[in-house]
A and B are shown apart, each in its own frame.
Chain A
Amino acid sequence: MTAPPTRAEVAVAACADAWRGDGEVLAAAMAPCSVLGARLARASFSPDLLTTDGAAVLTREPVPLGADGEAEGWLPFRDHLWLVLHGRRHVMLGASQMDAEGRSNISCVGDWERPTAQLLGVRGCPGNTVRNTVSYWVPRHSRRVFTPKVDMVSGVAAADAHELRRVVTDLAVMDFGGPGRTLRLVSAHPGSTVQQVRDATGFDLALPEGGAAAVAETRVPTGEELRLLREVLDPGGVRDKEVPG
């Protein structure tokens, strides 16, 4: 008998769903669960997606985390930057902070002139958000992340972006269908309540029409998706380290 899906597996399937219907675009991601989501989408319902080995190779098949694969193409960093402007790309970014309008920050915490915590720097977030479809993966949904004001705008607001598609966390799935393109709760993962998600969000999180009762429960992965995740893409269980049960 198959073990029931873990929280991480629900989150990976929700990440995968972000790329549903995207066709022949690069599914770019950086963190374990979002990378697995891209590869799971390609291995199941979106076979035309392009995915990488995590480095410069576009692989012929979606490969397990950390594994090499046969190449079907080459995508060194400079060509990622080309593709950002060219546009045939849907990237799932990370965010250390995000506000209600979808501005994100991975640069620093505090005053930029002299931050209390220097983080990565803006990386490619500004270009990604103005030219590509962008989703976000946040492995720990908290008020520290979902904050009224980000300290440095690395990813632009939904209203200024090409398209902010969705935000997946360890608790929930959100989109930007709230008033004035603000974050809106779409579904809460099994075991999470609407109240719990709203309590973990540092601003008033919009609800769908119909209110809390209209918030769906995030779907659980299918049997085939669980098999792909557990036996093929992540047999080492890296996903469960990123999102503990």
Chain B
Amino acid sequence: MTPDDIAAAIPDGAVLGIGGWGSRRKPMALVRALCRSPARDLTVVACAGPDLGLLCAYGKVRRAVVPFATLDSVPLEPWFRRAREEGRIALTEYDEGLFMFGLLAAAHRLPFLPTPAGLRSDVMRVNPELRTVRSPYPSPGHPGGEELAAAPALRLDAAFVHVNRADRRGNGQYLGPDPYLDDLFAKAADRTYLSCERIVEGFDGPPQTLLISRATVAGVAETPGGAHFTSCEPDYGRDERFQRAYAAAAKDPGAWDRFRASAVDAGEDAYQREARR
């Protein structure tokens, strides 16, 4: 599939999980294609970075379900900030562990998983739909059973994940230091779309690098540079110069018009030529 084919498979109102973490191994080519598509009213579930930011900039996001949004080397995500400060998106703000347990629950087709992460913080206040659950087993300090937050399953209509290598059937391999939560996104979703630096006939490296199973994948796109400007180790690091240009452009309407024209609207081939300049 092409990124544009994949974007066309995302209906209005979809709950979309996006893999990676902050400004690391984000499926940016798929996100750029989604920005060019007519899809709208999305719920984006992510450990968010410029993926969420770009989608906010294009007005695609109705709700974000996130524990944070950051560009890592630039602390704050500029378009997420603006969307929040201008009241243009709804937010479900979770603790990172509560978020991961939501994906784990969905991956296992459980309704929830219990965790103490979120208790006694304002995560419980700003998410009034969150419930607690009491353990049926007594434990030291909790003779009546410990009370825990019930992380609701984060079931996803679709997920976008970018990996270093994939085969044509949809098996995906990561070669960097961290799988992030990508396999959980794939397992929590009804349909996962994979992009990769390179499609291969067979995989080099140990089998535990084979993170994504074709059983969870609905389509694969070969997108060299497809995580740019986020990092995709060991194939490439983050493009800090390009990321700074993105963050700066978000503050200036004229600069943003130029950025979006060259970096999104012109299409992926033009973008990659621009990125290599």
Which residues does A use to contact B, with CB under 8 Å? 55-57, 74, 76-78, 81, 84-85, 107-108, 112-127, 129-131, 152-157, 160
- Tell whether, in the assembled complex, residue A126 and residue B76 are in contact, meaning their CB atoms are under 8 Å apart: no
Contact check: which of A76, A84, A123, A126 meets B178 at CB < 8 Å?
A: A76
Kindly list chain A residues whose C-beta atoms are within 8 Å of the C-beta of B84: 108, 114-115, 118
For A155, give the chain B residue with the smallest CB separation: B121
- Tell whether, in the assembled complex, residue B181 and residue A127 are in contact, meaning their CB atoms are under 8 Å apart: no
Contact check: which of B69, B97, B119, B122 meets A81 at CB < 8 Å?
A: B97
For the complex, what is the distance from the CA of A55 to the CA of B96, rounded to whole Å? Answer: 16
Kindly list chain B residues whose C-beta atoms are within 8 Å of the C-beta of A118: 76, 80-81, 84-85
- Tell whether, in the assembled complex, residue B180 and residue A122 are in contact, meaning their CB atoms are under 8 Å apart: no
Kindly list chain A residues whose C-beta atoms are within 8 Å of the C-beta of B97: 81, 84-85, 124, 127
- Tell whether, in the assembled complex, residue A123 and residue B76 are in contact, meaning their CB atoms are under 8 Å apart: no
Q: Which listed segment binds A: B33-41, B110-118, B221-229, B246-254?
A: B110-118
Nearest chain A CB to B154 CB, angstrom units: 15
Nearest chain B CB to A175 CB, angstrom units: 20
A130-B126 contact, Cβ under 8 Å, with A108-B84, A122-B95: no
Nearest chain A CB to B177 CB, angstrom units: 4
Contact check: which of B69, B75, B126, B180 meets A76 at CB < 8 Å?
A: B180
A56-B178 contact, Cβ under 8 Å, with A122-B67, A125-B95: yes
Q: Assuming A117-B85, A120-B69, A130-B116, what are 20 further A-B pairs, CB within 8 angstroms?
A: A77-B21, A77-B47, A85-B116, A107-B122, A108-B84, A112-B122, A115-B85, A118-B85, A119-B76, A120-B70, A122-B93, A124-B97, A124-B117, A126-B121, A127-B115, A127-B118, A129-B121, A130-B120, A154-B123, A156-B121
A84-B117 contact, Cβ under 8 Å, with A112-B126, A120-B76, A126-B98: yes
- Report which residue of B70, B76, B97 has the largest number of chain A beta carbons within 10 angstroms of its beta carbon: B97
- Report which residue of A85, A124, A152 has the largest number of chain B beta carbons within 10 angstroms of its beta carbon: A124
For A106, give the chain B residue with the smallest CB separation: B68
Nearest chain A CB to B146 CB, angstrom units: 11
Q: List 25 A-B contacts (CB under 8 A).
A: A55-B178, A56-B177, A76-B180, A77-B181, A81-B100, A84-B117, A112-B122, A114-B87, A115-B85, A116-B85, A117-B81, A118-B80, A120-B69, A120-B75, A121-B69, A122-B94, A122-B95, A122-B123, A125-B121, A126-B98, A126-B118, A127-B97, A153-B122, A153-B125, A160-B120
Kindly list chain A residues whose C-beta atoms are within 8 Å of the C-beta of B98: 126-127
For the complex, what is the distance from the CA of A113 to the CA of B67, rounded to whole Å? Answer: 16
For the complex, what is the distance from the CA of A118 to the CA of B81, rounded to whole Å? Answer: 5
For the complex, what is the distance from the CA of A131 to the CA of B21, rounded to whole Å? Answer: 23
* A-contacting residues, B54-97, CB 8 Å: 66-70, 75-76, 80-81, 84-85, 87, 93-97
Kindly list chain A residues whose C-beta atoms are within 8 Å of the C-beta of B178: 55-56, 76-77
- Tell whether, in the assembled complex, residue A122 and residue B116 are in contact, meaning their CB atoms are under 8 Å apart: no
Assess whether B152 is interfacial by the CB under 8 Å rule.
no
Question: A-B pairs with the 4 shortest C-beta distances?
Answer: A127-B117, A121-B68, A126-B121, A118-B84
For the complex, what is the distance from the CA of A74 to the CA of B66, rounded to whole Å? Answer: 25
Assess whether B172 is interfacial by the CB under 8 Å rule.
no
For the complex, what is the distance from the CA of A115 to the CA of B84, rounded to whole Å? Answer: 7
For A104, give the chain B residue with the smallest CB separation: B121
* A-contacting residues, B6-32, CB 8 Å: 21
- Tell whether, in the assembled complex, residue B96 and residue A85 are in contact, meaning their CB atoms are under 8 Å apart: no
For the complex, what is the distance from the CA of A4 to the CA of B6, rounded to whole Å? Answer: 60
- Tell whether, in the assembled complex, residue B75 and residue A122 are in contact, meaning their CB atoms are under 8 Å apart: no
Kindly list chain A residues whose C-beta atoms are within 8 Å of the C-beta of B95: 122-127
Nearest chain A CB to B113 CB, angstrom units: 11
Kindly list chain B residues whose C-beta atoms are within 8 Å of the C-beta of A123: 67-68, 95-96
For the complex, what is the distance from the CA of A123 to the CA of B75, rounded to whole Å? Answer: 12
- Tell whether, in the assembled complex, residue B177 and residue A57 are in contact, meaning their CB atoms are under 8 Å apart: yes
- Tell whether, in the assembled complex, residue B121 and residue A154 are in contact, meaning their CB atoms are under 8 Å apart: yes
Nearest chain A CB to B217 CB, angstrom units: 20
Nearest chain A CB to B70 CB, angstrom units: 6
For the complex, what is the distance from the CA of A156 to the CA of B123, rounded to whole Å? Answer: 10
Nearest chain B CB to A173 CB, angstrom units: 25
For the complex, what is the distance from the CA of A201 to the CA of B255, rounded to whole Å? Answer: 40
Kindly list chain B residues whose C-beta atoms are within 8 Å of the C-beta of A113: 87
